Structure 1
């Protein structure tokens, strides 16, 4: 008797829904859905692809079905949750899967759907659930742009009737280092490559520029100037490159730095925003040829630039442009003449000093070896004494 009453109750609960499902083209009447799609490049089995990861938070809003699952849970909670899980899978996941497969088939693009280990549906409290899965080739490239083949309005099939697969909120998370080419319809909010739409029934048109094409567009839209200075004594080139006229996104800055590093022997490099321009400052070690003449020292430093520049200037030297965006900087240094004068004066002083020393030595030797001249002999004391008596005798006469 209780089973019969329960069956009658369920029939009565579900009967009002018959009138609703007869109205094809209306919004799906069963769930409130908040959907997030995160897009990112990945490598799966050594193959690069773009993965779209769907996470759909669904809440059962139909009062008749809520009463039905409440009734099941009053008898067996586990069985009620399992039935609710199957219910969500059939209506939310399977309908989305069918929509995606039709879109990819129409675009002639292959794709694979990946599910979590526990399946696409995880049951939460209060007859809510999270539906999770991922799709490969969510974006495909034509060389310039990356485009979503799954773009379009969504269908929701229930009991043989077609409804609009409506959601309350859709959040699209795109990689920040890619430039958005187009989003349609225009999102209700867009910030840092995160777009939000409210109350819709579609997967939006999604187009991103490829990294290479973003870089090319930036270069074509900017005026490019570079100033270089070669220091022959330190052996490096300082450069300052300015790009004016277009916004430099993170992916463009990354590509630009990579291009400098690929063509120049970079020792250090950095960027800054200055008066609406992107400035690249760096130091590179060039290839150097050196020669020397009697009066000059000459250095020729060769630097290959990452591309063509509208204006090139060299500080402290001259330059010529060689093929393949190569700059040859010539720095000439005159030899200082005062050194030669100093060396000459020093040499003369040394010679003079040597001559003086030699002359002095010669004069000294002559002085020491010269003989003394003969002179008059002085009378000895004895002679004087002998003569004295004679003088006395004379005096006596």
Structure 2
């Protein structure tokens, strides 16, 4: 008798375990589930983190459970809804919460779950509900990539049995300005960083490149050429920078423009796609040194480039590359020979004019001195002298 009782106790004890083993790898039989996870960087209490916001839409499909809640509602709708809310919380939210907490603990990463003010479950009509909550550190960075530490298959415990936490559809919404490094398994649909899987039981492996590393990868994968022209009379440098060999995502374009603005005194800047290449067009104001010789005018314009380029060309001048990616453009302008001749001729004409004026002035002074005697008396005309002499002779003859 004791052996029989012991045997029955052993059977009773191991039956749930056998049930769990038997139920493993079987789909949960209770709900139809449509899950959405939106991932975004946020700042919470002055701390930056990546938030995964879960919205799980569920519809009760088990016929026995539906009949049970219909019976409760026929007597007391409020009580039926409250019980259904607890039912959904236990099966949908608590199971998911337990999965996440185990994964974070295994990865030795801290995390916090945030719930709406009314709790995680909101009951809808026809025995359906939406479960909402958010998880911090949904992605963690190693400097190059952002990874999801809770990726993997999900468990669903129901009536002492372990099932697969199956869903009909999972939609993952990632920020558009981040480059996807890896999604596994491969989604059934992927467009503009929105991925969709059908009929699964997992949180997918998610890897994004950090924005800085995406930028570095782009620069390492492209041929970089820049053409510049310095206009000394306007005082600015025009440039076209071309990046060929890799796709430029919006985040890369944004980072590229940021790097130009950080190193060059940008007046205007823009980008365009041209024959599979990204072209950056801009105008910058350089630092300028100027000197002048008897035959030349020389300008040296200095601009700091945002990094190394495979090819540099300067129109209308020469250049040297100084340390720290500083480009020194030299523009030389010859003074006009005709202008020098004109200046020389004008100078000669001025000297000649002055010389002639001086000569005329001197000649006029000499003429005036000739007409006036040495003591200031007037000189007599020759005819007047002859008349005076004839008068004297007549007077003498009369005597």
TM tier, smaller: 0.7 to 0.9
Residue correspondence of structure 1 range 1-397 to structure 2 within 5 A: 23-361=23-361, 370=371, 373-375=381-383
**Structure 1, residues 94-121: CA drift from partner, whole Å, max 9, x if none?**
0000011111111111111110111101
Shift of 1:340: 2.7
Shift of 1:50: 0.6
Shift of 1:376: 6.6
User: TM-score under structure 1 normalisation?
Assistant: 0.86
Q: 1:290 to 1:376 in 2, by over 3 A?
A: closer
Shift of 1:361: 4.9
Q: 1:373 to 1:134 in 2, by over 3 A?
A: same
CA–CA distance in 2 between the matches of 1:20 and 1:145? 37
Q: 1:28 to 1:63 in 2, by over 3 A?
A: same
CA–CA distance in 2 between the matches of 1:161 and 1:211? 44
Contact kept in structure 2, 1:139 and 1:146, CA below 8 Å: yes
Shift of 1:364: 5.5
Contact kept in structure 2, 1:21 and 1:159, CA below 8 Å: no
CA–CA distance in 2 between the matches of 1:77 and 1:289? 85
Contact kept in structure 2, 1:99 and 1:155, CA below 8 Å: yes
**Structure 1, residues 320-356: CA drift from partner, whole Å, max 9, x if none?**
1111211111111112232332222222223333344
Contact kept in structure 2, 1:21 and 1:158, CA below 8 Å: no
Comparing 63-72 and 169-178, the one that deviates more: 63-72
Shift of 1:368: 6.8
Task: Report the count of equivalent residues.
Answer: 362
CA–CA distance in 1 between the matches of 2:232 and 2:353? 40
Comparing 342-351 and 150-159, the one that deviates more: 342-351
Q: Report the counterpart of residue 382 of structure 1 in structure 2.
A: none
**Structure 1, residues 240-279: CA drift from partner, whole Å, max 9, x if none?**
1111000011111111111111111111111110000011
Contact kept in structure 1, 2:20 and 2:160, CA below 8 Å: no
Shift of 1:71: 1.6
Q: 1:360 to 1:152 in 2, by over 3 A?
A: same
Contact kept in structure 2, 1:291 and 1:297, CA below 8 Å: yes
Contact kept in structure 1, 2:91 and 2:156, CA below 8 Å: yes
User: TM-score under structure 2 normalisation?
Assistant: 0.86
CA–CA distance in 1 between the matches of 2:20 and 2:72? 23
Contact kept in structure 1, 2:20 and 2:162, CA below 8 Å: no
Contact kept in structure 1, 2:54 and 2:134, CA below 8 Å: yes
SS at match of 1:342: helix
Shift of 1:367: 6.0
CA–CA distance in 1 between the matches of 2:382 and 2:365? 22
Unaligned runs of 5+ in 2: 1-18, 372-378, 388-399
